[in-house]
Chain A
Amino acid sequence: MPKIRTQRTKRPPEGFEEIEPMLEEFAKKMRDVENEPHEGKRIVQSLWPVFRLHHQRSRYIYDLYYKRQAISKDVYDYCLKQGYADANLIAKWKKPGYEKLCCLRCIQPKDTNFGTTCICRVPRAKLEEDRVVECVHCGCRGCSSGD
């Protein structure tokens, strides 16, 4: 069970204290979102903010390491290990075409009737309807790299 600091756990590496306040904020927001009341929402809609925050937090760490190179490899690995970022999701972001992927559920073909991906993966140009799409898994409105 990560994220619990005892006397036995190793100390976090050097640069971690700089990003720690931001991670603390994410944790607070996540707790708020988890405790929101469900009135007036669809059943799946209550989960959407959770997925959104998860994406945002992972994105923050991904940006710090890969784009801005602001943290060291040790700090990055520490974050992944402690569960502050999703390693599998970041692995997808490194692939062409999946740079803005919303969540891992939306590319899972086993979750759909006909073995396709979620509708949020369709580029808005191809959608041809301009109707607002909120995907049922994570509430995403379009995560293809072109949009």
Chain B
Amino acid sequence: MPFNFTKFDPNKQGWEDAEFPIVCETCLGDNPYMRMTKETHGKECKICTRPFTVFRWMPGSGMRFKKTEICQTCAKMKNVCQTCVLDLEYGKCLPVQVRDAALDIKDSTPNLAINKQYQAQNMDGKFEAGQSMIDYGRADSAGRETLRKLARNAPYYRRNRAHICSFYLKGECTRGDECPYRHEVPDNELSNQNIKDRYQGNNDPVAAKLMTKGRGGSTNLTPPEDKNITTLFLTGVEEDVTEDDVRDYFYAFGEIKSVIMVHKSRCAFVNFASRSAAEAAADKASFDPVRIKDHLIRVAWGRPRPVGPKGETAKNKAAGTGTQAMGPPPPPGSEAAANIKYPSQDPTMQGAVQ
């Protein structure tokens, strides 16, 4: 009798039996008419190795079938999607490591296998529907800002594609055209990912890439080819950052020819007298994050555009003044017609991108 009580087995009663998966929108795919299979106790959770309900669906035509990989308890503990183990709140594609670093959440999940199972078993009862362990309100609002900026805007369906054909990598794929796996060469750095590492927030290559990208602009602030550019383009310039603040910060690198502030679009231009001064400033910016009046300023190279007095006034005032300054367009056929007819033809007037 003791070994076989399937319905009354106390261990089995604790096993998960869910009705619907906790899954992010990107994993679900673009098709609103999707069919999903459900298998109670189909597989064991990749993190806590307890049996859980496996849901399997196709996230759009041409994609591989996705299924839930971790159990609902583990997903709720970190508030992540059951399939991709990425954060559920912030738009798309935020790894656990990035979110925890920004919101400063300490990892309290145990590492040893048996402890994981124990904690999962105990936590199971405590979660009510829709609740998660991560308290987003308590976190620092600056952290939330950074997360919002780091998250993607549109769903990233490329990660739902089929896996890479391992036979193809060895040159042995005999299936040829009908092979459902991808015949491509993988990007080496990001391909050795481990679900346990990603879940706990250690050692995640995607998170590392995202964090270096978010920190004060790109790490490789390479000088542009055109040697005449001596302008740095600053973003994140808030209302209270004045021209003097900017000058104070950047005068150390060399003589500043001019500083143009555009508070309306939260940006500024620092025009150096010499190219070497500009490069020195850019180098400094790529090593330490630039902070003016306690705001994080992103630094990038300016576009090759003469920032003359005409451009200054156009940028400082609203774009409407630029159009008012033009008279009626000259009649066609005259010389002036070949030149600029409308303000938008002159890139300096309205800040058009070259």
Chain A positions within 8 Å of B, measured between CB atoms, are 40, 113-114, 129, 131-134
The reply to whether B37 and A132 contact each other, CB–CB distance below 8 Å, is no
Q: Tell me the interface secondary structure of chain B in the complex.
A: loop
The residue in chain A whose Cβ has the minimal distance to the Cβ of B180 is A131
Contacting pair A132 B178 (CB below 8 A): yes
Do A114 and B177 touch across chains, with their CB atoms under 8 A apart? no
Contact indicator B177/A131 (Cβ below 8 Å): yes
B159 nearest CB across to chain A (Å):
21
B126, CB-defined interface residue at 8 Å: no
Please, which residues of chain B bring their CB within 8 A of the CB of A133? 178
Q: Provide the residues of chain A in CB contact with B174, threshold 8 Å.
A: 40
For the residues of A in contact with B, the DSSP-based class is: loop
B52-84 vs A, Cβ < 8 Å mask (1 yes, 0 no): 000000000110000000000000000000000
Q: When chains A and B are docked, how far (Å) is the Cα of A114 from the Cα of B61?
A: 16
Whether B37 and A113, one on each chain, are in contact in the complex, defined by CB atoms closer than 8 angstroms, is yes
Instruction: Answer whether residue B35 sits at the interface, using C-beta atoms and an 8 A cutoff.
Output: yes
Cβ contacts under 8 Å, A131 to chain B: 177-178
Q: Which residue of A lies closest to B174 (CB)?
A: A40
Across the interface, name the chain A residue whose C-beta is closest to B62: A129
Closest 4 CB pairs of A and B: A132-B178, A132-B177, A113-B37, A134-B178
Q: Which residues of A sit under 8 angstroms from B35, Cβ to Cβ?
A: 114
Closest-by-CB residue of A relative to B56 is A113
Q: Which residues of chain A come closer than 8 Å to B178, judged between CB atoms?
A: 131-134
Chain B residues in 8 Å Cβ range of A129? 61-62
A134 to B178 CA separation, bound complex (whole angstroms): 7
12 interchain pairs, CB-CB under 8 A: A40-B174, A113-B37, A114-B35, A114-B37, A129-B61, A129-B62, A131-B177, A131-B178, A132-B177, A132-B178, A133-B178, A134-B178
Q: Could you tell me the distance in whole angstroms from the C-beta of A13 to the nearest C-beta in chain B?
A: 44
Contacts of B61 in A (CB 8 A): 129
Q: How far is the CB of A28 from chain B (nearest CB, A)?
A: 26
Q: Mark B172-189, 1 if CB is under 8 A from A, else 0.
A: 001001100000000000
B254 to chain A, nearest CB (A): 60
CB distance from A4 to the nearest CB of B (A): 39
- Closest residue of chain A to B65 (Cβ to Cβ) is A113
Nearest-neighbour CB distance to chain B for A127, whole angstroms, equals: 11
- Least CB distance from A130 to B in Å reads 10
9 further A-B contacts with Cβ under 8 Å, apart from A129-B61, A133-B178, A134-B178, are A40-B174, A113-B37, A114-B35, A114-B37, A129-B62, A131-B177, A131-B178, A132-B177, A132-B178
Which B-chain residue is minimally distant from A41 (CB atoms)?
Answer: B174
> Given the complex of chains A and B, what is the CA–CA distance between A40 and B37 in angstroms?
31
Residues of A within 8 A of B177 (CB): 131-132
Closest to B37 in A: A113
| Nearest-CB residue, chain B, relative to A128 | B61
Chain A residue nearest in CB terms to B178: A132
A131 to B181, CA, bound (A): 13
The residues in B between 31 and 49 inclusive whose CB is less than 8 angstroms from any CB of A are 35, 37
Residues of B within 8 A of A113 (CB): 37
Q: When chains A and B are docked, how far (Å) is the Cα of A26 from the Cα of B14? A: 57
**Considering the chains assembled together, what is the distance between the CA atoms of A131 and B37 in angstroms?**
25
How far is A140 from B174 in the complex, measured between Cα atoms in Å?
A: 17
In the assembled complex, the CB of A41 is this many whole angstroms from the nearest CB of chain B, namely 8
* A37 CB, nearest partner CB in chain B, Å: 14
Closest-CB distance, B67 to chain A (whole angstroms): 12
Residues of A within 8 A of B62 (CB): 129
Interface residues of B in 89-107 (CB under 8 A from A): none
Cβ of B203 to closest chain A Cβ, rounded Å? 35
What is the bound-complex CA distance between A89 and B177, given in angstroms?
Answer: 30
Q: In the assembly, what is the distance between CA of A123 and CA of B37, in Å?
A: 25
A40 to B176 CA separation, bound complex (whole angstroms): 13
CB distance from A132 to the nearest CB of B (A): 4
Chain A residue, CB-CB nearest to B167 = A40
A134–B174 Cα gap in the complex (Å)? 13
Instruction: Report the Cα distance A113→B35, complex, angstroms.
Output: 10
- Across the interface, name the chain A residue whose C-beta is closest to B177: A132
Give bound CA distance, A131 to B62, whole Å: 10
User: Residue of B at shortest CB range from A133?
Assistant: B178
What are the residues of chain B within 8 A of A114 when measuring CB–CB? 35, 37
Give the distance in Å from the alpha carbon of A113 to the alpha carbon of B58 in the complex. Answer: 12
Min distance, Cβ A102 to any Cβ of chain B, angstroms? 16
A132 / chain B contacts, CB cutoff of 8 Å: 177-178
CA distance A133 to B62 in the complex (A): 13
Interface residues of B in 156-174 (CB under 8 A from A): 174
Closest CB-CB distance, A7 to chain B, in whole Å? 50
Q: Which residues of A contact B37 (CB under 8 A)?
A: 113-114
